[in-house]
Amino acid sequence: MFQKLLIVFCTIFVLSACGGGSNDLGPKQAPPPVDGGGDGGGDGGEPEPEPGEPRIFSFISFNEEADTYDWTSRCVDACNATAALSWNAGEQVLVANPQWASDADQLDIVGAVGEISDMETSAARIWVFVPAAYATDGKMRIHLVLGNAQGLKGVSLGIRPKAGWNRLEMWEMAAGTGETVMVGDVEAIDYGTFAWHDDGFTLRNINEIGVRLVANGKAPEVGGPLWLDNVTLTPASGTGPLIVDKDDPAWTVMDATPAVTVQRDDTGVYFEPTAGDQKLVYLLEGPVDLVGRSFDMTFTVDQAFKDSGADVQPIIQLNFGSYSGEFGCYVGNGSLTPGVPQSVNCATDNDAFVAEEGQNIRVGLQVKNQPAGRLTINSMQINIVSSSDTGPFAIIPSQASVDSGAWGNDNWQGLAGAPTLSYDSESGALSIVPNWQATDSNERTIMYLAADGELPDLEGATVGVELYLSDYYFTANPGMAVQIYIQQNGGSYTGNWGSNIALSDGEDLGNGWYRFERVMEDVPTEPSALRLGIKLQGAGLTTREASADPILLRRFTVE
């Protein structure tokens, strides 16, 4: 199973829990994470199974040669370099073998993906295997590159690759305005989370992903084949398209006589309109925000509709107040072919497109002119956070919560090796001094003591924790792992403990905020008061020093 081990260059770094025994990080030669299983806690709990997969828009594994067919190489700007592409059946990877012409060459290795209507706030990832010669030279840089249907490109911040597998990833992607802004006293161009993008680039209609290889002064004779694997485009956590089923009761006919009704068959949901402006729409319940969002629809007309000369107008429209709408996705009769599905993508930047509780937004279509026959919506997805999702539940440390004792630090064994906790006002985070020099226990426990009923339902939820880790834990004194756990705060103190997540999987990233996640299953419910926490597993540390850098905890989230 493909692991969700995410590294983000522009926001926060993400590492996710892996199950024991069957770990596969993706690329065939990437090492699995260390799985010590954890010593469980008070009742000797066992490691949890591998977490569920993220929702993926597009995943290219290169397990088959056909996966390489839509990939190509091209020089950027004035460039004479080339790159032959092939498939390595043994490793099941795409092989790019650049022939460099100068120390200023830039090469794109890119592939086509099924057009994705909206990648705003989403994530993209590629693994690249780099020969030692490039890493030894220390010059070449690798960037993630995305392209949209308008032919515009966006390029991520670059990395200096190491020998072996390298992950390139952007998380919570956002395109900038392209305008000059002031960052302190320095002028800079707003490219959002990108290092650079074309004027007018947006994350809508993304149809291309790949890598940009920048020689950056590298001598042309330094070369060798590079491997690409496990290309992923996936929504940010908690997001994704709302797939509207034809049997959903929220489908309705509006602005029509009672004789015009919603009907369904194997092809979709349909109506037989008798006059212009009659609507077949899905009522999307609030609270929901459609500003800057879009929907994809496939619809079909029959011969009678075509012969009537009527047009089709997909719409997004408030069903309250001003009834503001987006009507730009007009499909004239001349573009319609009976029995042949017509696909449209309609987007809106209208600031009015927000519905509160008890309000709704119409998403669907209306007919224009004098129609006859049948109009069927075969499929529709609305590219938003699902209207039932109000965002993640968050536990954020504060001076008051630390002072009140809501944050605990006692190892279940009751031994001396407990961390020292305090509130760091500058970072707005819980400061954790591990006290590794106390060697009577290998783990350090940090927990939030939730009140009865305080937490949302945790069964199946993704629990995340954001930690600031210094380079101390990656290069100076490596070997630590993190374990996310829950446990009742009374009764039998039943709990469960996820597998250890080894910091070595962060590939020596150094100082920064890191996010760790696991999916909760078999959550204890009675009593409902729970400890939500982490264990810092120190058995693998090179040394157990009193001078170890503190760790900051910014928040827990439950989604």
Arithmetic mean of pLDDT, 218-230: 92
pLDDT of residue 236: 53
Domains of the chain, CATH where assigned: 58-236 (2.60.120.260), 242-386 (2.60.120.260), 393-558 (2.60.120.260)
pLDDT of residue 453: 77
In this prediction, residue 56 has a pLDDT band, given cuts at 50, 70 and 90, of: low
In this prediction, residue 461 has a pLDDT band, given cuts at 50, 70 and 90, of: confident
The least confident of 47-61, 89-103, 424-438 is: 47-61
pLDDT of residue 260: 97
In this prediction, residue 7 has a pLDDT band, given cuts at 50, 70 and 90, of: very low
In this prediction, residue 389 has a pLDDT band, given cuts at 50, 70 and 90, of: very low
The phi-psi region of residue 230 (left if phi > 0; otherwise alpha if psi is between -120 and 50; otherwise beta) is left
Percent of the chain at pLDDT > 90 equals 36
pLDDT of residue 241: 59
* Residue 198 contacts residue 153 (beta carbons within 8 Å): yes
pLDDT of residue 23: 23
Looking at per-residue pLDDT, the higher value among 554 and 57 belongs to 554
Contacts 24+ apart (CB under 8 A), 395-398: 395/448, 395/450, 395/532, 395/555, 395/556, 395/557, 395/558, 396/428, 396/554, 396/555, 397/423, 397/428, 397/429, 397/430, 397/553, 397/554, 397/555, 398/423
Q: Is the pLDDT confidence value at 373 over 90?
A: yes
Q: Is the pLDDT confidence value at 131 over 80?
A: yes
Which residues on adjacent β-strands are paired with residue 469? Answer: 512
Structure tokens at 70: 């839509």
Nearest to 231 by CA among 394, 75, 56, 463: 56
pLDDT of residue 384: 62
* Residue 363 contacts residue 313 (beta carbons within 8 Å): no
In this prediction, residue 492 has a pLDDT band, given cuts at 50, 70 and 90, of: confident
Q: Is the pLDDT confidence value at 168 over 80?
A: yes
Q: Is the pLDDT confidence value at 414 over 50?
A: yes
Arithmetic mean of pLDDT, 342-355: 80
Arithmetic mean of pLDDT, 372-393: 70
Q: Is the pLDDT confidence value at 238 over 50?
A: no
